[in-house]
């Protein structure tokens, strides 16, 4: 097995894996998102292939530049084909992401994971990650509201932060 940078031709399999992750997406949607992200500094899109050249998983890492902390690499998405889990593909993707993070001068890798993903938590713990904090994910819908409309509200949604995370 080996990793390589994601390419536009991977959109179909990446979309299928995205759906397995719990974020249904069409091949076209992935293609557009890929085009928006590829080549953008501080984003890394990787796939892992088996020895036959089949894509078995993908990972998206990002280094947001913040005022309040030094650079930390965040894993934004990670999934391995559900019929091939436990075969080392996830570990290889994480290892490559860590190497990239070091190149970006990050001292840490972080990720947020839904409290429901117990299996993934065991994987992350095995990769040396530890839970540091638990937080809420505040959202505000911007649909159906004109800018400046006084009826917009922050009260609509309060979800656990992990609900929208990898
Ligand atoms: C989490 C995930 C990416 C791990 O990928 P994977 O290819 O199955 O993991 P690996 O085979 O590389 O496992 C690496 C190590 O973690 C361990 N591990 C993996 N899944 C585990 C589990 N459910 N429980 C305990 N240990 C686990 C493996 O035993 C292995 O340890 P070893 O190297 O000492 O043998 C994959 O299971 C997945 O896609 N899950 C569904 C989507 C998901 O939850 N993504 C993360 C969202 S936050």
Of ligand 1's listed atoms, the one at least distance from the Cα of 114 is: 48
- Identify whether 161 is part of a domain: no
> What value does the mean pLDDT take over residues 85-106?
98
- Identify whether 149 is part of a domain: no
- Identify whether 129 is part of a domain: yes
The answer to whether the CB of 78 is under 6 A from ligand 1 is: yes
Domain count for the chain = 1
- Identify whether 54 is part of a domain: yes
The residue contributing the CA closest to ligand 1 atom 37 is 85
The residue contributing the CA closest to ligand 1 atom 9 is 90
Q: What distances in angstroms separate CA 82 from CA 19, 95, 97, 116, one per listed residue?
A: 11, 20, 21, 17
The boundaries of the domain holding residue 108 are 2-136
For residue 42, the model assigns a pLDDT of: 96
| Cα distance between residue 112 and residue 121, in whole Å | 10
Of ligand 1's listed atoms, the one at least distance from the Cα of 165 is: 48
144: which DSSP letter? T
Of ligand 1's listed atoms, the one at least distance from the Cα of 80 is: 39
pLDDT, tens digit, 9 for 90 and up, residues 16-61: 999 999 999 999 999 999 999 998 999 999 999 999 999 999 999 9
For residue 161, the model assigns a pLDDT of: 44
The answer to whether the CB of 58 is under 6 A from ligand 1 is: no
- Identify whether 141 is part of a domain: no
In a 3-state reduction of DSSP, which class is residue 138? Answer: strand
Greatest alpha-carbon pair distance for the chain in Å reads 57
For residue 148, the model assigns a pLDDT of: 56
Of ligand 1's listed atoms, the one at least distance from the Cα of 75 is: 48
Angle at 119 between CA 112 and CA 21, to 5 degrees: 60
Which string of DSSP letters, residue by residue, matches 38-81? TT-TTEEEEEEE-TTS-EEEEEEEE----SSS---EEEEEEEE-
What pTM does this model have?
Answer: 0.89
The residue contributing the CA closest to ligand 1 atom 25 is 122
Neighbours of 81 (CB within 10 A): 19
Q: What is the CA(147)–ligand 1 centre distance, in A?
A: 43
**Are the CB atoms for 110 and 64 separated by under 8 Å?**
no
Cα-Cα end-to-end distance for the chain:
23
Domain with residue 71: its CATH number is 3.40.630.30
Q: Which residue, among 164, 36, 45, has the nearest Cα to 111 in the 3D structure? A: 164
């Amino acid at each position: 097995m080996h990793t390589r940078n994601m390419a536009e031709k991977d959109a179909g399999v990446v979309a299928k894996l995205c759906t397995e992750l719990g974020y249904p997406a069409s091949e076209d949607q992935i293609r557009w998102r890929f085009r928006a992200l590829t080549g953008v500094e501080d984003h890394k899109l990787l796939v892992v292939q088996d020895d036959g050249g089949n894509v078995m998983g993908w990972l998206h890492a990002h280094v947001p530049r913040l005022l309040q902390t030094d650079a930390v690499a965040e894993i934004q998405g990670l999934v391995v084909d559900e019929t091939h889990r436990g075969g080392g593909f996830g570990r290889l993707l994480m290892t490559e992401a860590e190497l990239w993070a070091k190149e970006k001068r990050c001292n840490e890798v972080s990720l947020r994971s839904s409290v429901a993903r117990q299996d993934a938590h065991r994987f992350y713990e095995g990769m040396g990650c530890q839970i540091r904090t638990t937080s809420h994910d505040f959202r505000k819908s911007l649909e159906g509201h004109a800018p400046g409309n006084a009826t917009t509200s922050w009260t609509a949604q309060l979800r656990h932060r992990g609900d929208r995370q990898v």
